Amino acid sequence: MKIVTAVIKPECLDACKTALAQAGVRGMTLTSVSGFGQEVGHSEVYRGARYNSDLITRVRIDVVSADEDADTLVNVLVEAAKTGNDGDGFIWVAPLDRVVRINTGDENEAAL
């Protein structure tokens, strides 16, 4: 099994969720994250005061998949999240040793 993790622009979230659902994904975990990379920070106004921030808000998507499906999911996410601009995000894939569905006790592939 693999865990596919994508960090994307928030405005690409709906397209990614739709594309993953069409690819047969039945579940995912979404997290609001912030960080920095090659993009330059931005300035915001909060309660009338302007401040500069070097942290960019992004959305993290985690999907657990069978080994043979991981490359397909990466391709689906790239197509859905790609705008062609800096800061489109990153995707990484890591091996996953064990998954347990809490309510049934099913493990690994059966838990997916």
Residues 20-46: tens digit of each pLDDT: 999 999 999 999 998 877 766 666 666
Q: Residues 2, 64: contact at Cβ < 8 Å?
A: yes
Is 2-38+53-98 in CATH node 3.40.50.620? no
**Residue 95 predicted with pLDDT over 80:** yes
Residues 42-61: tens digit of each pLDDT: 666 667 777 666 778 899 99
What's the pLDDT score for residue 86? 80
Count the residues in the chain: 112
Q: Residues 74, 4: contact at Cβ < 8 Å?
A: yes
Distance CA 83, CA 90 (A): 13
**Residue 70 predicted with pLDDT over 80:** yes
Q: What type of residue is 79?
A: E
**Residue 111 predicted with pLDDT over 90:** no
